[in-house]
A = this chain, B = another copy of it.
Amino acid sequence: MSRKNKRSLKEKFSLKNSLVKEALSEFLGTFILIALGCGCVGQAVLSRGAHGGPMTVSVGFAMAVTIAVYVSGGVSGGHINPAVSLAMCVTGRLKWTKLPIYILAQFLGAFIGAAAVFGIYYNAFMEYSDGKLEVTGPNATAQIFATYPAPYLSLVNGFADQVMSTAVLLLAIFAIFDTKNNSVPKGLEPIAVGLLIIVLTCSLGMNSGCAMNPARDLGPRLFTAVAGWGMEVFTAGNNWWWVPIVAPLLGGVLGAMTYVIFIEIHHSDPQSGEDKDVHTKYELTNMA
Footprint of B on A, CB under 8 Å? Answer: 1-3, 6, 9-10, 13-15, 18, 21-22, 24-25, 27-28, 32, 35-40, 42-43, 46-47, 50-61, 63-64, 66-67, 69-79, 84, 88, 90-95, 98, 116, 119-124, 126-127, 150, 152-154, 157, 160-161, 164, 168, 171-173, 175-192, 194-196, 198-200, 202-207, 258-259, 261-263, 265-266, 275, 278-279, 282-288
Contact = CB atoms under 8 A, between A and B. Distances in A.
Contacts of A176: 70
A32 B168 contact: yes
Contacts of A116: 164
A60 to B, nearest CB: 3
Contact of A51 (B43, B154, B192, B205): B205
Contacts of A78: 182, 284
What copy number does this chain have within its complex? 4
27 contacts: A1-B90, A1-B91, A13-B265, A18-B275, A28-B258, A32-B171, A32-B172, A36-B199, A46-B206, A51-B206, A52-B54, A59-B59, A60-B199, A63-B198, A74-B279, A75-B266, A78-B284, A93-B285, A93-B286, A120-B160, A120-B161, A124-B206, A124-B207, A182-B189, A184-B188, A187-B282, A188-B188
Contact of A123 (B38, B59, B123, B153): B153
Interface of A is mostly: helix
B283 A177 contact: yes
B286 A9 contact: no
A65 to B, nearest CB: 9
Given A1-B90, A25-B262, A199-B60, A73 B181 contact: yes
Given A59-B59, A73-B181, A119-B160, 16 more contacts: A18-B275, A28-B263, A36-B199, A36-B200, A36-B203, A43-B203, A64-B199, A64-B203, A67-B172, A67-B195, A71-B259, A74-B178, A78-B182, A88-B284, A120-B160, A191-B195
B285 A77 contact: yes
Nearest to A278: B18
Contact of A70 (B9, B184, B191): B184
Q: Which of A15, A191, A195 has the most CB of B within 10 A?
A: A195
A206 B75 contact: no
